[in-house]
Amino acid sequence: MAAVLLLGVGLVPSPAGAARIGGKTTGTESISSATWGATASVTSMTFTSRTSQYSTVTNSGVVALVAESFLVTVSNPGPPTPTFTIYACTSPWTGRRCNGGLGTQIGGPFATGTSTTVAAAFPIVVGGSIYLKVRPSMGGIQATTVTVMPEVTAPSQVQAPVNTNQ
């Protein structure tokens, strides 16, 4: 009787063997720890002319980003009162151009004496970068400082992990 039972077990394919040849499985995984964030090459820019200034924002974490936020603060040195516009590009700026275009505007325009958080939906792979241009838009310039601080604070800004067959 034991030999017949053993033969019966030997003829039933194991679930693990079936998974190796293909199929679908469901379940949940959790990440025990990860770091994410973005750093800027330049965060504070002082404008004394109507010339644009630039900063590179790099993913400094270990997971890809699908979006970022920027805290934009513009000083208020008094009249005249310029406004500023921020543009993002997925490749380095060539002169005033982003891939032959003008780039994608992020929020704004930003007036003097304001502090605003704006969101940008630019994916950044680990170690990858996006490129910002801060441009004076209107008004005269009187030593106005613009601070652009990248922030990654919401879970929705981080790419969901991909489970590989480990």
CATH code for the domain in which residue 92 is found: 2.60.120
Query: Can you give the pLDDT of all 166 residues of the chain as single tens digits?
Result: 443 333 333 333 434 433 333 333 344 444 555 677 889 999 999 998 889 999 999 998 888 888 888 999 999 887 878 899 999 999 999 988 998 788 999 988 999 899 999 988 888 898 999 999 999 987 667 789 999 998 877 666 776 655 555 5
What separation in angstroms does the CA of 64 have from each of 26, 123, 129, 151, 163? 23, 7, 11, 14, 14
Whole-model pTM: value is: 0.73
Q: Is residue 104 part of a domain?
A: yes
- Distance CA(94)–CA(112), nearest Å, equals 28
Q: Is residue 126 part of a domain?
A: yes
Contact 159, 123 (CB under 8 A): yes
Per-residue pLDDT reduced to its tens digit, 86-114: 999 999 999 889 987 889 999 889 998 99
Q: Is residue 28 part of a domain?
A: no
Per-residue pLDDT reduced to its tens digit, 27-37: 444 455 567 78
What is the residue range of 88's domain?
A: 41-154
Q: Is residue 25 part of a domain?
A: no
Kindly report the average pLDDT of the chain as a whole number: 77
Neighbours of 150 (CB within 10 A): 23
Q: Is residue 160 part of a domain?
A: no
Q: Is residue 73 part of a domain?
A: yes
Distance of CA 10 to the CA centre of its chain: 53
Structural domain total, the chain: 1
Q: Is residue 7 part of a domain?
A: no
CA dihedral angle for residue 147, residue 148, residue 153, residue 154, rounded to 10 degrees: 130
Q: Is residue 34 part of a domain?
A: no
